[in-house]
Amino acid sequence: MAQPLATIHLEVSTQAGDLQEDYESLLSDPQEPQGEQNSSPDKDLVNKEKDINKLFKGLKNKISEVVRSSSLPPLSKEPLVYMAHVILEEEKRHSEPGTMQGWRESWKEAIQDRVRDLVKKVPLESREKNVSWLAVHLGILGKTLEENLEKVERDLVNLYPPDFNVLETYESCHREAVTEHVKDLLERVTKMKDYHALLEFLVHRWGTDYEGSEILQQIKTLFCQSQKEDFMSSLGNIIVTEQVVWKLKERPEKTDDGFFTSSALTNICQVVESYKSSLKGIDANLGSSVVRICLEELVPFCKRFEETFSENTSFLLTSEHSDLLDICLWAQYHITYINSFHSIKEHVQCYRNTYSVELEKQLDGLTYRLSQKLMKYFQKDFKPFLDAMMTKKWLRTEKHFNEVTSRIEIFYGLCKSMRAPPVQGSSLNWLLPLGDDLSDIIGTKDEKNTKDLLIPLVNHFPDIREILLFSAASLITGLKNSKGTFLQAPIYGDDCMRSN
């Protein structure tokens, strides 16, 4: 049985690889069925229409082959040039009967398929074989796509008419292929470092192309969830680490300047800062979000830590075998955590936009309660000896007095290992009158008026020490009077006077 004409043309041209012959066959055949529809509505006409449609599809397949081969060496320019010519000609004829639409779309689809193939060929190891599987893959992928775009710009752009926007089309196809591939990768990603690798890849390799995109936002959300889980795990590990310290009765660490500290707790600040720093070159807003998540998790952690600490160290005071060393260790632990949580508060205050009032309350409340427990214990410890001193017995023996002084010395020695609480934030508006007050004092030409000029300074700053007031006045005015002579007439009210 004889084959239809269009099919014969298609098979021959496909074997020969001749794009021009395919197109000439297409030009010669499509009008015939249209003219014969009224006179020969038989099976031959239907078959011929099918053959022509097949020829159209074959030609579009040939366009795909040309696009694919353009990325392989050696580059053959003639098929590309003629392919662009075919697309332009068909777009001019799009209103004629018997023509097929979507030629440029077919060209774009061919580019998209080619880029997808390129992405699929990039090696991808399993996480079991390589812990850095994703970072390695994305590094190779980025380099591969970058080299491909460079080749397009160098070798292909000039072969097309300008209105094809070749480079922009290839870039768009690259983005689509990358988006599809990243979605596939997300199904395999479970660790925070891998989400970070994806963020870095999209932001650094593609810049603003993905800004505000759905896939980028999805990765950010997953990263924040993973980071929260990672931070919560770190906080849980801190409690476990400290429980070992309490159980083994290990002495607390000391800083170089002699203050008790817990490196496990103070490392919280370093962990938060590391999260933020790792996102510095990627997304500052995401870094702020991560910090906020960490600070929110510190709120329940404070309560959980306090409860666990109280439950696991009470034996140091209540055990039948508790001795002075156990009591001192119990006090040292309290001072350690007072210092450590003061340090945490001091550090997190630098995150002004994310530092919550609730966290401040928790940190202040925790350090206050630890201080009060410490104070109440020593008050309770002093009380029997102080009560004994309130009787006549203390006249006959110094035993109770020595017990009190001994405990005070121990308590004082421990307190020397306690940091002063961080300075509270202040707008410093209370210092505003100082400039005017000092200006008036310095500007006076009559030493006799100096005392009168000091009165506003004392009123504005009633807790200023007398010796500092006198020293300032002496330096400013050159007075040679003694302290008592100069302040013989009181400037302070009786209830405000402070001496050195």
Structure confidence at residue 169 (pLDDT): 95
Residue 492's pLDDT band, with cuts at 50, 70 and 90, is: very low
- Residues with Cβ within 8 Å of 149's Cβ and at least 6 positions away in sequence, in order, are 167, 170, 171, 174
Q: Rounded distance, CA 60 to CA 80, Å?
A: 13
Asked, for residue 424, whether it belongs to a domain, the answer is: no
Task: Note whether 231 and 297 are within 8 A (CB).
Answer: yes
Q: How many Å apart are CA 184 and CA 178, to the nearest integer?
A: 10
The average pLDDT across 287-309 equals: 95
pLDDT tens, position by position, 221-257: 999 999 999 999 999 999 999 999 999 999 999 999 8
Judged against a pLDDT cut of 50, whether residue 480 lies above it is answered with: no
Q: Out of 83-87, 264-268, 425-429, which region has the weakest mean confidence (pLDDT)? A: 425-429
The residue among 101, 130, 162 that closes a domain is: 101
Same domain, 265 and 410: yes
Residue 208 is predicted with a pLDDT of: 78
Note whether 280 and 372 are same-domain residues. Answer: yes
Q: Do both 216 and 244 map to the same domain?
A: no
- Among 254, 251, 371, 247, smallest CA distance to 313 is for 247
Quick check: 330 and 249 in contact, CB under 8 A?
A: no
My answer on whether omega of the bond before 74 falls inside 30° of 0, hence cis, is yes
Q: Flag the least confident range among 26-35, 147-156, 213-222, 380-389.
A: 26-35
Contact 302, 344 (CB under 8 A): no
How confident is the model over 22-26, as a mean pLDDT?
Answer: 63
Look at 325 and 476; give whichever has higher pLDDT. Answer: 325
> pLDDT-derived band of residue 479, with 50, 70 and 90 as boundaries?
very low
**pLDDT of 500 above 50:** no
Q: What is the structure's pLDDT at 428? A: 46
- pLDDT confidence band for 427 (50 / 70 / 90): very low
Does 299 lie in the same domain as 267? yes
CATH code for the domain in which residue 272 is found = 1.10.357.50
Confidence (pLDDT) at 405: 80
Q: What is the mean pLDDT of residues 300-316?
A: 95
Three-state SS for the chain is CCCCHHHHHHHHHHHHCCHHHHHHHHHHCCHHHHHHCCCCCCHHHHHHHHHHHHHHHHHHHHHHHHHHHCCCCCCCHHHHHHHHHHHHHHHHCCCCCCCCCCHHHHHHHHHHHHHHHHHHCCCCCCCCCCCCHHHHHHHHHHHHHHHHHHHHHHHHHHHCCHHHCHHHHHHHHHHHHHHHHHHHHHCCCCCHHHHHHHHHHHHHHHHHHHCCCHHHHHHHHHHHHHHHHHHHHHHHHHHHHHHHHHHCCCCCEECCCCCEECHHHHHHHHHHHHHHHHCCCCCHHHHHHHHHHHHHHHHHHHHHHHHHHHHHHCHHHHCCCCCHHHHHHHHHHHHHHHHHHHHHHHHHCCCCCCCCHHHHHHHHHHHHHHHHHHHHHHHHHHHHHHHHHCCCHHHHCCHHHHHHHHHHHHHHHHHCCCCCCCCCCCCCHHHHHHHHHHHHHHHCCCHHHHHHHHHHHHHHCCCCCHHHHHHHHHHHHCCCCCHHHHCCCCCCCCCCCCCC
Domain final residue pick, 101, 134, 168: 101
Question: Do the domain assignments include residue 325?
Answer: yes
Quote the distance between the C-alpha of residue 362 and its chain's center.
24
Q: Which is higher by pLDDT, 329 or 484?
A: 329
Q: What's the chain's average pLDDT?
A: 79
Do 80 and 173 lie in one domain? The reply is: no
| pLDDT tens-digit map of 431-463 | 666 777 777 776 766 666 666 777 777 766 665
Token pair, residue 69, equals 């081969």
Looking at the fold, whether 248 and 342 belong to one and the same domain comes out as yes
Residue 478 pLDDT: 54
Q: Mean pLDDT throughout 109-131? A: 92
pLDDT over 90 for what percent of the chain? 43
How far, in Å, CA of 26 to CA of 55, rounded?
Answer: 7
437 or 184: which carries more pLDDT confidence? 184
What pLDDT score was predicted for residue 487?
Answer: 42
Q: 73 in a domain, yes or no?
A: yes
Same domain, 50 and 142: no
Q: How far apart are CA 498 and CA 112, in angstroms?
A: 83
Q: Are residues 246 and 315 in the same domain?
A: yes
Q: Is the pLDDT of residue 482 over 60?
A: no
Q: Does 296 have pLDDT greater than 80? A: yes
Residue 448 confidence (pLDDT): 66
The answer to the question of residue 493 being in a domain is no
Neighbouring C-beta atoms of residue 346, cutoff 10 Å: 15
Q: Is residue 177 part of a domain?
A: yes
Domain that holds residue 297: 235-415
Mean pLDDT throughout 333-362? 88
Q: What is the pLDDT of residue 125?
A: 92
The burial of 466, by beta-carbon neighbours within 10 Å (0-12 exposed, 13-18 middle, 19 or more buried), is given as middle
> By mean pLDDT, which of 89-103, 109-123, 310-324, 410-424 is the weakest?
89-103
Total count of domains within the chain: 4
In a domain, 347, yes or no: yes
Q: Which pLDDT score, from 0 to 100, does residue 460 have?
A: 66
Please check whether residue 375 lies inside any domain of the structure.
Answer: yes
Q: Which of 101, 130, 146 is the last residue of a domain?
A: 101
d(CA 476, CA 219): 65
- Report how far residue 272's alpha carbon sits from residue 83's, in angstroms, rounded to the nearest whole number: 57
Confidence grade of residue 419 (pLDDT, cut at 50, 70, 90) = confident
- Given a cut of 70, whether residue 305 has pLDDT beyond it is yes
The answer to which of 7-21, 141-155, 304-318 has the lowest mean pLDDT is: 7-21
* 364 and 277 fall within a common domain: yes
Contacts of residue 451, defined as CB under 8 A and 6 or more positions apart, other chains included, come to: 473, 486, 489, 491
Tokens of 310: 């109280």
Q: Are residues 190 and 273 in the same domain?
A: no
Tokens of 481: 């009077």
Q: Quick count: other Cβ atoms within 10 Å of Cβ 81? A: 13
Residue 207 lies in a domain: yes
Do 67 and 188 have their domain in common? no
Say what the pLDDT of residue 94 is: 66
Looking at the structure, tell me whether residues 297 and 392 fall in a common domain.
yes
- Say which residue, 449 or 165, is predicted with more confidence: 165
| Each residue's pLDDT tens digit, 48-78 | 566 666 777 777 788 888 888 887 777 778 8
CA distance 51 to 7: 6
Contacts with 361 (C-beta within 8 Å, 6 or more apart), sequence order: none
pLDDT at 387 exceeding the cut of 50: yes
